Structure 1
Amino acid sequence: MKPIGYANERYLDSAFLALADPTRRAILARLTLGPASVMEVAAPFQMSQPAVTKHLNVLERAGLISRTRRGTRRECRAEMKAVTEVTAWLENYRRALGANFARLDGLLEEMKQKERTMAETKSIEMPQVVETGPIQMATLRAKVPAREIQMQMGALLRELSDEIQAQGVQVTGPWFTHHFRRPDEFFDFELCIPVATPVKASGRVQPGEWPTMKVVRTVYTGPYQGLAAGWGEFLGEIEKMGISISPEIWERYLVGPDTESDPEKWRTELNRPVQS
């Protein structure tokens, strides 16, 4: 059998038109069981023989049945080759349609999975505009090449922590960083640890204060390797909000490796000051 689009389309159109009528479908189904006379075909349908004959004529023109005379008996029989071709075409069509639906189902499932994955992997909370209170802090200013930041951050934090401890000053919250501009080749920033009382200036360690300001804030959850992507997501949300922000960055490490061994549970607060 030729596939859809070949020369047998006209024949198939004729066959399907003939089979559009339920009575003709029933007549053909009867004749697939064996030859029968017009009277025998008409018996189940409560129809006159002339009415049945009209249906038989349509089926014959479509090539689905033939009529022959044997003596005084005129028999109708199904043309099984034609019926088989129509059945095969329908089966091919069903399979093609099923395959198309399967592909469509696959695409829909893929889209749903992407939506679920995006929802599950969304790394930041909904940004909010908040006003910070003043935070007294001990600071350590540094300018570090971007390629060395991971290696130097631990040493810088220890230097600041050791000086606070040496002065006997109480720490009041998680440490954070204040970047004076968006990092590029260098990180120009100060490490900050909130304290109960001012520290005395000592070497690179200086007293400071996180001033009262209005910021756009979110919280990123995940390992530090994903912070850049988290910031990108955050900045995209800020742009949607239509808020102007200053170049400064405040990044506070609420939960990190010092208190939680699973990096997926680390929580980092991201802040961008709002420009008035």
Structure 2
Amino acid sequence: MERGAYMDIKSLHTFLKVADEKSISRVAGQLFISQPALSLQIRKLEESFGHKLLIRTNKGVQLTEAGQILEAHARSILTIYNQAFEEANKLFGDRHVIRIDSNITLATYALPCAVYEAQAQAQFKDYYFDLSFSTVNPVEKNIINGMSDVGYVHKKSEYHDIRYVKIGSDRLILAASKEFSVPERLTLEELKRYKLIQLNDKFNERKPLMESLHCDISDFNIAISLDSTESAKTAVFKGFGLSFLPASSVKKELSTGLLKEVTIEDFAEEYPVYLCYLKENESNPRLKPFLDYLKDRKTLDFC
């Protein structure tokens, strides 16, 4: 493992908890994760740091000499980080800042309306919502690192200290411009005769799409590969071909008739939307009201 690859704010915070409590099992209970999951976090931190940090004794765990060095510096790092966080929050006065992270599709077509509705609630009049989308790190990694408070994802990952709550769903549809000459319904073999506009694989939609179609991407006539949903929509508008797009991204265009949906026989690709956050933040006084509001709604409204 590359040195420093697992050296993030969350892992340092967990390490200090273990150093203070001298017990992995006790800290695991406090963080609502299993003991093996916490042990794995510590082991990854040791691999990243390049030294063994803890030793087990009859009285629990103790720090090695390298662990004592990291402990001292970790406390300084967290102090500086917390000071920076507090200073940044002062920019918003007494308002509570909630940092929300997601993929670009949800950040563009769902979260603005969802956040607008939340801000209309009296209980959130003193809240400021900061929306962003991830292009490098997974959403969960940004939450663990303290860069985001809550996130929206389409798939659960193996992060043991993250809570996932399903709050909605989206689906992939085959979109065409209203003038594009194509039947309302196609078989899979008929689809292969048309030019397709595909999204780059950074959207993580290609593999599940091909699995649902029981095909390989090489079976299709790919006209162009684009790196954003909006550019794919523009190509469809221009009549360059058909494209599988999230229904949330073309909701307005379908309702106004600018685009039309082409049905593929025996194909239905619906996928969930999960709210995710650190389990330990379920009792955080700044986040709990907002988390409760989102979970009580049990839905995500798309713009």
TM-score by length of structure 1 reads 0.22
Q: Which has the larger radius of gyration?
A: 1
User: RCO (CA 8 Å, sep 6+): is it higher in 1 or 2?
Assistant: 2
TM-score by length of structure 2 reads 0.21
